[in-house]
Structure 1
Amino acid sequence: MSDHSGKRKHAIYRITFIGFVVNLVLAAGKLAAGIFGRSGAMVADAVHSFSDLATDVVVIAFARISAKPRDEGHDYGHGKYETLATILISLALAAVGTGILVNGIRAIRTVAEGGLLPRPGLVALLAAVLSIIAKEVLYRYTVREGRAVDSPSVVANAWHHRSDALSSLGTLVGIGCAYFLGERWRIADPIAALLVAVFIFKVAFDLVRTGLDELLERSLPADTEQEILRIVTASPEVTAPHNLRTRRIGASIAIEVHVRVDPKMSVARSHELTVDIERRLRERFGAGTLVVIHVEPLK
């Protein structure tokens, strides 16, 4: 394992472990507040926080795998395992959104059929406020650090933290209306939950689409490929780049390109040019960038 990969792996562990501890404390606290505060919304919010614990474990496990160097069975390394982790987190988000949606619809039906939702206690209201603050801080920390180490699974997990914060916001609105405005306003709780579920589905869809694009070998964006071609042809001795192929492998990218040089150029000089191109590409896109350059004579 390279020094860069080792540092990246330990950074992912540290970021995710902090999130794990915060989620554990919040989930236990919200569950207690929901039970003693007679708030079904807060209990559901606690379940949402417990789901974050599961995704933290997924990130830690897959970070260890994705940091492994290439071997006989994985010529391009293990970066796609991190992509798989991102998709699993996305599916967890969708599952949480479905649970919130179903519970919200059930509560609205109860009111529509003449039922009465229970009045939550003040402890549930305070727990919602604390949860929003803690999870928003955790989101900002995790997404910043995840982007710093270029880890899509950590960034995906950060969005899971924010979905929990938004879930708590919806819970706060519902509990606040039920607590302060009387019986007829208690339906605000499930309505807010439905709005939160829609946002969660949107985040889950965006994340799973990104992960699937990578697994299905989607090329890098057009502007990135144009930048690659500019780097490849920075030397006037290299012309006519073609057959450019790009893809993402976890936190790294792979680049394959054909270039043409003077047919009278020596093998040693053409080799020097390709080494220089590889160096510049890795300086721009990271030391883990996989580069394959095929040299052809200019016709």
Structure 2
Amino acid sequence: MSSEAEIRKRKIYRVTFVGFVVNLILSLLKLAAGLVGRSGAMIADAVHSFSDLATDVVVIAFARISAKPSDSGHDYGHGKYETLATIIISIALGVVGAGILIDSIERIRVVLDGGLLPRPGAIALVAAVVSIIVKEILYRYTVRVGRQVQSPSVIANAWHHRSDALSSLGTLVGIGCAYFLGSKWRIADPVAALVVAIFIFKIAFDLIRTGIGELLEQSLPADVEDEILRIVTANPEIREPHNLRTRRIGASIAIEVHVRMDGQMTVEHSHDLTVDIERRLRARFGEGTMIAIHVEPLK
């Protein structure tokens, strides 16, 4: 394993382990606050936090696999395992959103049928505030590391942290209305949860769409491919790039392109030109970039 891949793996482990510890402590605190404060919303929020523990385990497990170098059975490495982890986390997000949605609809129905939701205790309010602050800090830390190491699964896990913060925000609004404004306003709790569930579904859908696109060998965005072509043709001796093929493999990308050069130049010189192209592409897109350049003579 290269030193760059080892450093990347360690950063992923560190940020995910920090998230795991924070989620474990926060989940237990919120569960206790929900039980003591008689808040069904806070108990549901605690369950949401417990789901983050499972995604942390997924990220750690798949980071170890995706960091493995290429072997006889995986010529392009194991980067797709990280994409698979992203999809698993996204599905977990969707399941959490569905649970919040169902629970909020049931509680709204109770109120509409003339029922009365219980008044939560002040400890539930405090737990909601603490959860929002802690999870937003954890989101910012995790997403920064995820972008730094170009890890889609870490970024997906960061959004799982933010979904928990948003869930706690909805819980805070609902608990606050129920606690300060009286029984008539207790329906605000499930209504806020309903809005949060929709937002979580949107995040999950976007992440799943991106992950599936990578598994199905979707090309890189058009602006990225245009940039690749500009880098390839920066040297005037290289002409007419064509048959460009791109795809993402975990944190790395793969580039295949055909170029035309003067048919009278030596093989050694054409080789030097292709090596220079590879150097510039890796300087822009990372040392793990997989590059294949096919040289053709100018017609």
1:267 aligns with 2:267: yes
Q: Which amino acid aligns with 1:183?
A: S
Moved over 4 A (4+): none
Aligned position for 2:209: 209
Alignment of 1:154-169 (within 5 A): 154-169=154-169
Counterpart of 1:256 in structure 2 is 256
**CA-CA distance at 1:145 after TM superposition:** 1.2
Structure 1 residue 133 displacement after superposition: 0.5
1:22-59 deviation line (CA, Å, top 9, x unaligned) = 00000000000001110000000000000000000000
User: Quick one: distance in 2 between partners of 1:168 and 1:263?
Assistant: 66
User: Alignment partner of 1:258: what SS?
Assistant: strand
Tell me the alpha carbon deviations over residues 233-268 of structure 1, each in whole angstroms, 9 at most, x when there is no partner: 111111011000000000000000001111111111
Deviation at 1:115, TM superposition (A): 1.1
Q: By how many angstroms is 1:270 displaced?
A: 0.8
After superposition, the C-alpha distances for 1:194-246 in whole angstroms (9 at most, x for unaligned) are: 00001000100111111111111111111111111111111111101100000
| Secondary structure of 1:260's aligned partner | strand
Aligned position for 2:88: 88
2 CA distance for matches of 1:122 and 1:233?
65
Asked if residue 235 in structure 1 is aligned to residue 235 in structure 2, the reply is yes
2:100 corresponds to 1:107: no
- Give the gaps of 5 or more residues in structure 1: none
Structure 1 residue 70 and structure 2 residue 70: aligned?
Answer: yes
CA apart distance, 1:112: 1.1
What is residue 46 of structure 1 aligned with on the other side?
46
- Residue 180 in structure 1 maps to residue 191 in structure 2: no
SS of the counterpart of 1:264? coil
Tell me the number of residue pairs that the alignment of Structure 1 and Structure 2 aligns: 299
Alignment partner of 2:247: what SS? strand
Query: So what's the TM-score if we normalise by structure 1?
Result: 0.99
Q: CA deviation at 1:113?
A: 1.2
Paired AA for residue 124 in structure 1: A
Amino acid of the residue matched to residue 229 of structure 1? Answer: L
Q: Specify the alignment match of 2:199 in structure 1.
A: 199
Structure 2, unaligned runs of 5 or more: none
RMSD after superposition = 0.6
Distance (Å, rounded) in 2 between the aligned partners of 1:77 and 1:282: 17
What is the SS of the residue equivalent to 1:217? coil
Q: TM-score, normalised by structure 2?
A: 0.99
The equivalent of 2:117 in structure 1 is 117
Identity of paired residues, percent? 77
